[in-house]
Amino acid sequence: MGDISMTYNAAAATMNQDHTLDVVPYQQGGSKFFDDDGRLKRTGTVWTASAHIITAVIGSGVLSLAWAIAQLGWIAGPAVMLLFAFVTYYTSCLLAECYRTGDEVTGKRNYTFMDAVSTILGGSKVKLCGILQYTNLYGTAVGYTIAASISMMAVQKSNCFHASHDDNPCLISSTPYMIIFGVSQIIFSQIPDFDQISWLSAVSAVMSFTYSGIGLGLGIAKVAENWQFKGSLTGISIGMVTPTEKIWRIFQALGNIAFAYTYSMILIEIQDTLKAPPPSEAKTMNKAGLFSVSTSTIFYMLCGCVGYAAFGDTAPGNLLTGFGFKNPYWLLDIANVAIVIHLVGAYQVYCQPLFSFIENWAATKWPKSDFINKNFQVPILGFRPYKLNLFRLVWRTIFVVSATLLSMLLPFFNDIAGILGAFGFWPLSVYFPVEMYISQKKIPKWSTKWVCLQILSAACLVVSIASAVGSVAGVVSDLKVYHPFQSKY
C-alpha cells in the first residue's frame, strides 16, 4: 500500500482540456497565490477548523451519553468523560506536531494521516494505519446513516403518538429513511474536496448546538418535573440487568464515550486546510482543538448528566429518539430535523478524506485514463460551472450505496457506536499519534516522557479492548431477535 498513499508532493496538479497535467512548480517560501509546497494558498482559520472538529465531534454520539452514564453511575460516568476529553485533546496536540516533518514552520507537509505515518514511521505500519483509518471512516458512514434514519423515524413517530394520543404503537420501518438519507449523500458526495465543505460544516455545527440544547432543555424540564435527581453512584442496578449484562454494558458505555470524542482520524486533513504560518499550523490546530474539545465536553457533561438525572437507570439509548420525551412533540421534531441536517454534514467531513484517498490513488495508478482524470464542465444557472468527474460520480455513489445497505443489515446505533469507538480510539487517537510524536521529537527510550507516553497508550488499549468486547456482545444479543430489512420500531 506504499504507493497507494502517494499524494501530490511539492506541486499542485490539475487536468487541462487537452487531458494533460499542468504542474505548478514548487515555490520555496510560497508566494502571493501559492503556499510553500506549490499548492494554492490555504485559507483555513482557527474558526473553520473548529467548525470541522465540532461537526465531527458533537455528533449523534452526544445523544447516547445519558445511557452511557446510566451504566457507569454518577462517579465513574463524569470522570470517564473528562478523562476521554483530556486524552483526546492531548493526543490531538501530539498528532498536530506531525503535520510537518522536521521544522514546524518550514518542514515537509504531510497531507493526510497516512502520509504522516508513512513519512515518520514507514514500513508495515502504513498499511495498518490505512486499513484502520479508512475502515473506521466507512464504519462512521454506516453509523451516521443509522442515526439519521432513527431521527427521521422519530419525527414520524412523535407526530403519530400525538395524533393517536399514545394509543397507537406507531411501528415504523427504518429502511425507507435510510434510502432517503443515502440519496442525499450521493448528491452531497459530489462536492469535490474537503476545502469546499466549510459552509456545510458551519451549518452542521449550528445544528449540533441546536439539538444538544433542546435535549439539555428537555432534560432540565424533566428534572424539575420529577423534583429529584434520579440515578445512583454506581449506575444501573443488578436486578434490572444481570451481573454479566452489567459488565457488557459498562464496556459498551466506554465505547460510546470514545465514539463521541474521536476525530483524530481526520485531524491532519483538517490541519491541511489552515493558512500557512505565522503562526505554525500546529499552534493554530491546537487552539482549535482546545476550543472544540472544551466546548464539546461542556455539552457532553450537561446533556449526559442532565439526561441521567431525568431518567436514571431507564435513560434511553438515544435521548431524543428513545422517547424518554414525547412532548412538546413539535420541539422534538425540530431537534430531530437538526440531527439529520447535522449528520448530512458530518458524513461528508468524515468521508471526504476517504474519497480523496481513493481518487488520488486511482489518478496515480492510471494517469492517462479519461474516465478517472477528465472533468466535464456542467453549466449551472447563476453559479460557476460544475466540474463533473465520471470516476468520482461512480465510485462515490457505490460507496454511499454500500454503506446504506450495510446500515439496513445492522441498524443498532448504540452497538455500532461502541464498536467504532473501540476500534478507532486506541490505534488512531492514541497509538499512532504517540509513536509518531516520539519518533518526530526523538524522545529517548526509557526516558520519563517515553515511559509516561507508553503507559498512556497501554491504558487506552485496555479500554478499547474492553469496549470492543462489550459492543460485540451487544450486537450478538440484538441479532438473536433481528430480521434484516424487516424490523420495525
Q: What angle do CA 368, 369, 374 make, to 5 degrees?
A: 100
Angle 198-226/46-57 helices, nearest 10 degrees? 50
CA distance 62 to 47: 21
Q: Over the stretch 166-195, which tens digit does the pLDDT of each residue have?
A: 666 677 788 899 999 999 999 989 888 766
For the cut 50, the answer to whether the pLDDT of residue 12 exceeds it is no
DSSP letter string, 271-315: HTTBPPSSS-HHHHHHHHHHHHHHHHHHHHHHHHHHHHHHHGGG-
pLDDT band at 60 (very low <50, low <70, confident <90, very high): low
For the cut 70, the answer to whether the pLDDT of residue 474 exceeds it is yes
Residues 6+ positions from 5 with CB-CB distance below 8 Å: 112, 114, 115, 118, 126, 130
Q: Are 215 and 320 in contact (CB under 8 A)?
A: yes
Q: According to the model, what pLDDT value does residue 255 have?
A: 77
For the cut 60, the answer to whether the pLDDT of residue 1 exceeds it is no
141: part of which helix (H) or strand (E)?
Answer: helix 124-164
Q: If DSSP codes are grouped into helix, strand and coil, which group holds residue 427?
A: helix
| Main-chain dihedrals φ then ψ at residue 411, nearest 5 degrees | -85, 50
C-alpha cell at 356: 480523496
Q: According to the model, what pLDDT value does residue 362 have?
A: 92
Q: According to the model, what pLDDT value does residue 421 have?
A: 67
Q: According to the model, what pLDDT value does residue 104 have?
A: 78
Strand partners, 376: 388
Q: According to the model, what pLDDT value does residue 356 have?
A: 87
The pTM is what? 0.76
- Cα 88 to Cα 14, 31, 156, 436: the distances in Å are 36, 35, 36, 16
Residues 6+ positions from 393 with CB-CB distance below 8 Å: 190
Q: According to the model, what pLDDT value does residue 437 have?
A: 93
Q: Are 10 and 37 in contact (CB under 8 A)?
A: yes
C-alpha cell at 204: 452542521
Higher pLDDT, 106 or 405: 405
| Main-chain dihedrals φ then ψ at residue 282, nearest 5 degrees | -65, -45
Q: According to the model, what pLDDT value does residue 291 have?
A: 92
CA distance 411 to 176: 13
For the cut 60, the answer to whether the pLDDT of residue 409 exceeds it is yes
Strand partners, 387: 377
CA distance 220 to 488: 31
| For the chain, percent of residues with pLDDT exceeding 70 | 84
Hey, CA dihedral for 373, 376, 380, 384, is it positive or negative?
positive
C-alpha cell at 70: 446510566
Q: If DSSP codes are grouped into helix, strand and coil, which group holds residue 379?
A: strand
Residue with cell 457507569: 72
Q: Over the stretch 112-153, which tens digit does the pLDDT of each residue have?
A: 888 899 999 988 888 888 888 888 888 888 888 988 888 888
Burial class (CB within 10 angstroms; exposed 0-12, middle 13-18, buried 19+) of 244: exposed
CA distance 321 to 177: 14
CA distance 375 to 467: 45
For the cut 80, the answer to whether the pLDDT of residue 24 exceeds it is no
224: part of which helix (H) or strand (E)?
Answer: helix 198-226
Q: Over the stretch 266-316, which tens digit does the pLDDT of each residue have?
A: 888 889 888 876 778 889 999 999 998 898 888 888 888 888 888 888 887
- How high is the mean pLDDT of the chain? 80
Q: Over the stretch 211-234, which tens digit does the pLDDT of each residue have?
A: 878 878 888 888 888 788 887 888
pLDDT band at 448 (very low <50, low <70, confident <90, very high): very high
Could you tell me the end-to-end alpha-carbon distance of the chain, in angstroms, rounded to an integer? 43
Q: According to the model, what pLDDT value does residue 22 have?
A: 40
